[in-house]
Chains A and B, each alone.
Chain A
């Protein structure tokens, strides 16, 4: 495409801004990664390569406990949210009545509403109807937060499917239950897996909802880490942040590769 090349020559400054923007996004992350291997006791001064802070972190029992708790919360959150979101995408179809559009807006509100609003709202609701702050109430809040993120990939998958498949099934007399189990479900399984992965990350990362709704026995990993961060920089937090950087990124990239392979 010659014209594109010419335009690129005419607006060369966009390239430099673009490259700077990518650098701006990655320099901080790379810094954390590099300094997680710092030998020094001083978090910000380089003192040679070492993995000693990794072993310190992996032996921190409070951290491990918080991580385990977050896992025990994120796994059911992701499963339930993806299941409910799949039900939502299947049940409301493509064309909606006005009532459903309104309800759907509520379900999808966490995509745009500042999280602090739903978080304090849920706290106020729980206190008004005397629901105790425990694992179950935290799980319910996480599921509600996660559903819209699970809904997106599943709905976009359903929209890409050929409507003729479903018309044929209906013409041949399949009940809507049979259509769901035999046709829709197998076709959306890859999207449901994506949904589970995304919502797992969202639940693992969630800070605000957990902060307002955590009881005495429900310290999530982000809550524990926030407590450390409040104290300032430290070699241990370098390592924790590096792990939080690497694990979801690798997971996400692997799943992109896996889904592409499956798609072929």
Chain B
């Protein structure tokens, strides 16, 4: 290490760096490796023989007489996951941006309380939060008691549950930018005769750009890889990538295909990160309350 830390000896960072190498780096490496291996014969693990079968079986299926065709089973699951994650992202944008602006327009003391309110649901166990929607959407649940439809075990329930889980992820980064924004620029826009829409698209959204891009990345990525909400709220028919990976490592016992899907998820994550470059604190980390940051 070339540069010395002012806070203490550099050696104290080794345990954490070793953990990162062994329990994050090595697992990613092994998953990539497994995705190029043969499926284990006893329905578990892998055989150490190089093959790209896992990837091609995601794309192509071969029937009994050796004809090849597009494997729609996996592709439709991947497609459904992407569509669902995009829908969640769009809803979070439409709700999250106005909410963040609304919070930024309040007095400082009110802002703090509202941000804590947005953050708290995140620190409630994800199972409890998902269960809350089971209670509301179930057959004879509260929504159906007031005359609504029974949505539990449909894609709609998954959509609601994921939006619920990730809305704070959109509000927080947009708020972080909106809080520093000078709202008089909007006024200037109006004074110069611009219409509301024009002010929205030419002044407000460009100013909030980085917050919005961060928000898109940190909502879309976890929504794509979600497991808990789809498997509790969605039906058996609407499988997503997360459940598919789980199946390959569990019941179906095809570790190479499961690994290939995990690699695909990593690639999509990197793609999303590259597309929506973000700054500052993001995702779950953004929900760490500032007051807990040890700032006095």
Q: Which residues of B contact A208 (CB under 8 A)?
A: 227-228
Known: A4-B183, A87-B13, A88-B16. A166 touches B227 (CB 8 A): no
Whether A7 lies near B249 (C-beta < 8 A) is: no
Whether B95 lies near A166 (C-beta < 8 A) is: no
Known contacts A114-B222, A154-B294; can you find 15 more A-B pairs with CB under 8 A?
A3-B187, A10-B187, A18-B114, A24-B95, A103-B21, A110-B24, A112-B273, A114-B242, A117-B28, A118-B27, A120-B249, A148-B285, A152-B281, A190-B294, A197-B292
Whether A176 lies near B4 (C-beta < 8 A) is: yes
**Residue among A22, A112, A177 making CB contact with B283, cutoff 8 Å:** A112
Interface: B20 (CB within 8 A): yes
Closest to B95 in A: A21
8 A Cβ contacts from B232-274 to A: 232, 242, 245-246, 249, 255, 258-259, 262, 265-266, 269, 273
Interface 9-residue window, one of A29-37, A48-56, A57-65: A29-37
Main secondary structure of the interface of A (DSSP, over half): helix
Chain A residues at the B interface, C-beta cutoff of 8 Å = 3-4, 6-8, 10-11, 13-15, 17-22, 24-29, 31-32, 35, 42-45, 83-97, 100, 103-104, 106-118, 120-125, 127-128, 140-141, 143-144, 147-149, 151-154, 156-158, 160, 163, 166-167, 170, 176-177, 179-181, 184, 188, 190-191, 194, 197-198, 201, 204-205, 207-208, 211-212, 222, 225-226, 229-230, 232-233, 237-238, 240-242, 244-245, 248-249, 252-253, 255-256, 259-260, 263-264
**Residue among A121, A229, A233, A237 making CB contact with B262, cutoff 8 Å:** A121
* A-B contact number at CB 8 A: 366
A-contact bits for B273-296, CB 8 A (1 contact / 0 none): 100000001111100110111111
Q: Which residues of A contact B142 (CB under 8 A)?
A: 31, 44
Whether A109 lies near B24 (C-beta < 8 A) is: yes
In angstroms, Cα B19 to Cα A77, docked, is 13
Most A CB atoms within 10 A — which of B12, B30, B245? B12
Closest to A240 in B: B128
Most A CB atoms within 10 A — which of B21, B27, B295? B27
